Structures are given as C-alpha cells and as structure tokens.
Amino acid sequence: MIFNSYTFYIFLPIVFLIFWRLPKQEYRNAWLLIASYVFYGWWDWRFLSLIIASSFWDFWVGIRLEQADFKQKKYWVASSLIFNLGLLGYFKYHNFFTESLKELLFSIGLNFNYSTLDIILPVGISFYTFQTLSYSLDIYRGKLAPTKSWLSFFTFVSFFPQLVAGPIERASHLLPQFFNKKEFNYAWAVDGTRLMLWGLFKKVVIADNLAYTVDHIFGNYETRAAWVLYEGLIFFAFQIYCDFSGYSDIARGVARWFGIDIMRNFNRPYFATSFRDFWSRWHISLSTWFKDYVYIPLGGNRNGELHQLKNLGITFVLSGLWHGANWTFVMWGFLHAIYYIPETLVRKIKSFTFSIPNGLKRFFVFHFVLIAWAYFRAPSLDVANQYILKMIGGILLHPGAFVFIKGYWVIGLIISLVILEYTMKDREHPFEIKPKALRWTIYTVVSIVILWFQSYHTSSSFIYFQF
C-alpha cells in the first residue's frame, strides 16, 4: 500500500477511528501492529515473515544482552549484526556481489559459473533492519534498557507510517511512545494533516510530473543538447527531493494522528552552504545512523587526520551502497566523500579566513550535489559518465545556448517551491496562513489539485521504496 493511493485514503481513517475508540494502550498497540502488517502485506504478504523474524530476534537479543556478562554480550550483539546484515545481504546484495566477482575473475582470465538468483527485493528492508539493529547496538553500549513488552517492540519496528521508507527511528525516541496511553490532541492532528497535504503536494504534483521529463531525458540523453541534460539533472534533483521529503512529511503527519512524534528527515537541503551542512539537512535519520554506528565506531576524528579521512571515506561509500546494489550508488557515496574531505581539512586551518558569500556557497554546493545525482539516477557508470561529459562539454563549448525544454509550468512549480522553502525557514509546512477563510481556500485548492493529478496519472511508488 502506498500513501498516494485511494486504498490508503480509506485505510487511514478506519485505523484512526478504531485506534482512538480502544480503551487501553495495549489494545491500541495491538491494533497498530495489525494495521501495520496489513499495510505492508498489501504489497506482498510473504515478506511479513522477514519483519516478524527481525523483530523477534532483536527483541530476544535485547533481553539476553541485559542478562549477559561482557564476553557474552559480544556474541549476542554479533548475532544481531549477522542476522540483520545477513538478511539485507542476501535479498539486496547477493546478485550484485556475485556479478561483481564474476566480472573481476573474468578480467584475470578465470571463469566463475555461479549463477545469480531470481530474488525479489522486499520493500523497506534497508529501513527496518537498520532500525532493529540500532536497538541491539544501543543496548550493547549501555545507552538503552531493553523492553520486556514484545507487543510494544513489534509495533515500534513495524509502525506503518515510517515502515517502508523511514525515517529510520531510534528506539530511545520512538519506542517509549508506545507505552503510555495518549489523549487525542486536536491541534497536533490538524498540524499532521497539514504535513500530509504538503507531502502529497510535493509527491503527486511536483515529483510525479518531473519524473516523466526526467525519464525521457535520461532515456534519450545521446540525442539531447547539453543544456537540456543540465535541466534534466536539476529536474531529477527536485524530483527525488520532493518524492522522498514528501514521503517523510506524510509519514510524520500520519504519525501525529496517533499521537506519535517521528523525527524530521529533511530541512531544506538545497539551501546548504557546505557539504557538511547538506548532510545535516538531507536524509537526516540515515546520516546520523551512519555517524553513530559506522563513523564513530571506526574511530571518528580520533587518532589523527589521516584516520579521520579514511573513516569519512568508508562511511560515505557504505552509505552509497546502502542505497542500492549498483556501482552507481557506490560512486555517488564516493563523490560525496571527495566533496566532504577537502572541506573538513580546510575547516581545520585556523588561518583560513577567505570569506565567500552564502549565495555563492549554495550555488557551488548545489551543483556539485547535482553532478553526484547523475550517478544516483543513471542505470550504469558508463551512462552517468557519458551524460556528465556530454553536458559539461556542450555547456563549455556553447555557454550561451541555453534553451528551456517543454513544461514551463513545472519550472514554475520548482521556482515556487524554492521561494516557499526559503520563506518557511524552520517551519514544517507553508500552511500557517491567516485569515482562516484564506487558509481553508488554500487547503481546498491544494486538495483538488492533488486529486486531479492523482486521477490523471497512475499512482507511482516512492523512489526510496526500492532501497
């Protein structure tokens, strides 16, 4: 089931109404657990077994970690790592590593006849395995006490608003919210509805319409002018942003209907003035996960600059691989490491006082991020390389040949989005408008536009479902 579907528009009110009619929190958790399994099983019920197995194993590991001595704790946390990463490795990376090994051996004259498997990638597996894994790791580190309530834990793992595309929540933040009975908060639910409306607008009206143009440009890049390729990259940058941040906004809004707070995953990333700033704004739940569970355990910024740079490189490359079983994602992560590392070195030079205007910083950061997006979107490294070379070479040879492609109204939507987000600053949505009559007029217009586009185009899955 996806958020931008009529099925979900029926599903959500039913779950909401029954939830608030139940007298005890245990009953509410049980209802949310059932609803979450229905929500996920709507796609393919067979893969519910993976979520249940992952939930059971880490719940059990958490209890064993509390009872174990220091040596035994290492074995139990290792079992959690092996189980969760094993699931992820088999379903997501088995064929990738098999093909990569075959190509490597073939390049040195050896034949490797092991065939790939016909494996379906379960939706959201990268998200819920990281969520349960962080629970075990936090208990092992002594930062969290294990829960004795299997129902609360299973609900935490499978909570349907953020189950298949995040944010990747920490147990320390989300899990306690399933213990205490809540009173319905009308103001919070209304604000959640505004978040859902804003997220649906970004997904259905902006991202889905940009997708058609982006697919057409990337599918025919050999015949396109350089400036059209440049526009295609800009369109993809806003497509993936509106698609993913739209999902996160809807997830946060839906959660508020049930009195649950989940973390903010995006904070106007294309206004970043540095690459460090960008990664504090983009997919915040993932970047902080890799910082806490990969970068810092590797040594972080301890043991000298050389080790810090190595740790940064490993972290970014692994974060790229997390996104998908393709060398394009590895390159995407590697490029961000290449961007991030020099900036880290410059920041340590105390005598470096050269000042650059924020507008110019944003321009350069956005365009370097744009280059990396080419690898994220392209089906192969060769296509991404050819796309970038054709684009940059053509622009340098014909700097004044800029032409807009068809779809001026979509360009207008992007410009409007940028202006809105610039004025929003720390606000989560643009609907805090007075007077009331104007606000409700805007709600109505935006809702009609969303429904019109949804009826005009077939509802499409969110990009991050594939990760």
Written as one string, the DSSP assignment of 22-46 is: -SSHHHHHHHHHHHHHHHHHHHHGG
Neighbours of 8 (CB within 10 A): 18
Closest listed residue to residue 281, CA positions, set 271, 292, 293: 271
Closest listed residue to residue 374, CA positions, set 386, 361, 363: 386
How many angstroms separate the Cα of 437 from the Cα of each of 389, 430, 440? 52, 16, 5
Written as one string, the DSSP assignment of 352-368 is: ------HHHHHHHHHHH
**Quick one: tokens of 142?**
């002594």
| Strand locations in 286-357 (E) | none
Query: Is 336 in the active site?
Result: no
Exactly one of 94, 173, 323, 457 is catalytic; which is it?
323
How many angstroms separate the Cα of 317 from the Cα of each of 236, 330, 336, 444? 22, 6, 8, 44
Q: At residue 282, what are phi and psi to the nearest 5 degrees?
A: -100, 130
Tokens 């796609």 locate to 43
Q: Cα(148)–Cα(137) distance, rounded to whole angstroms? A: 17
Mapping DSSP to helix (H, G, I), strand (E, B) and coil, where does residue 169 land?
coil
- Known catalytic residues are 323
